[in-house]
């Protein structure tokens, strides 16, 4: 199983956009996805709530909720057939929680916007992943996605120069597209929309999909007890 964490403590960086479109891609590809929302705003769960019964099923876990009637491990349990776990993390995440959140993660995706504030936040985020979460560069589990980018602008060139200094791969740049807004409002992903409407956006997602396909998943032995999200942390 792959555990993919979408992480950047800076709010508004596009974590939910990345997480929901990944869940959509895996659903369309026939890989049973579970989308876990750790953000109290519940944006990923709100996206899931808009999906209809006719659409491909995506299991959701509202990890930000606390239900006194059930144990935490029960509330966070994953379906046994989960093949891809996508974790949409909260803004203002305490760096000390990074080892817990990223434990056994196949991939950690860091979306970054082209602005000075976001560049500074991304530098701090990646530093914390390396120093606090103890993820080594040579493990090749961390990747950056430049989000809402307008190429051939000064801020774009500044962003790319900065990303080169991190020695962390930039696996794609996503344009500032209205298709993401339309998809979010409809509870779908780009991969569920008419291809001719989203062709350019899908081309930008292909490198992300390719990079994730190269990451090894966590092996779950046959007959294992009920798998929970907390057991992966």
- Residue ranges and CATH numbers for the domains of the chain are 2-218 (3.40.50.300)
Q: Which two tokens stand for residue 113?
A: 């916007």
State both tokens at 216.
């090894």
Distance in angstroms (rounded) separating the CA atoms of residues 178 and 56: 23
How crowded is residue 67: how many other Cβ atoms within 10 Å of its Cβ?
A: 10
Rounded distance, CA 227 to CA 78, Å? 6
Predicted local confidence at residue 149, as pLDDT: 82
pLDDT value, residue 216: 66
107: left (phi over 0), alpha (psi -120 to 50) or beta: beta
Q: Is 195 exposed, middle or buried (CB count within 10 Å of its CB: 0-12, 13-18, 19+)?
A: exposed
**pLDDT reported for residue 215:** 81
Nearest alpha carbon to residue 6 among 118, 122, 89: 89
Give 10-residue mean pLDDT values along the chain (233 residues): 93 94 96 94 95 94 81 78 95 92 95 87 92 93 90 79 85 94 96 95 95 71 39 43
Distance (Å) of CA 166 to CA 86, 142, 159, 163? 24, 11, 11, 5
Q: How much is the pLDDT for 165?
A: 84
pLDDT, residue 26, reads 95
The pLDDT, as a whole number, for residue 178 is 96
pLDDT score for 224: 35
pTM of the predicted structure, to 2 decimals: 0.88
């Amino acid at each position: 199983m792959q555990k993919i964490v979408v992480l950047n403590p800076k709010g508004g960086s596009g974590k939910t956009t990345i997480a929901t479109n990944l869940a959509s891609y895996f659903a369309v590809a026939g890989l049973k996805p579970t989308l876990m929302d750790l953000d109290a705003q519940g944006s990923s769960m709100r996206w899931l709530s808009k999906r209809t019964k006719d659409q491909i099923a995506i299991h959701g876990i509202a990890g930000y909720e606390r239900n006194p009637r059930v144990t935490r491990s029960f509330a966070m349990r994953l379906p046994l057939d989960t093949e891809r776990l996508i974790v949409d993390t909260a803004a203002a995440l305490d760096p000390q929680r990074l080892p817990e959140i990223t434990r056994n993660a196949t991939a950690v995706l860091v979306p970054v916007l082209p602005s000075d504030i976001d560049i500074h936040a991304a530098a701090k985020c990646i530093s914390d992943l390396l120093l606090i979460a103890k993820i080594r560069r040579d493990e090749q589990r961390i990747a950056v996605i430049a989000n809402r980018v307008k190429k051939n602008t000064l801020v774009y060139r500044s962003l790319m120069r900065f990303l080169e200094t991190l020695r962390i791969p930039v696996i794609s740049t996503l344009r500032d597209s209205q298709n993401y807004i339309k998809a979010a409002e409809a509870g779908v992903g780009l991969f569920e929309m008419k291809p001719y409407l989203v062709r350019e956006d899908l081309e930008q997602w292909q490198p992300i999909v390719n990079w994730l396909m190269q990451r090894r998943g966590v092996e779950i032995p046959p007959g294992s007890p009920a798998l929970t999200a907390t057991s992966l942390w």
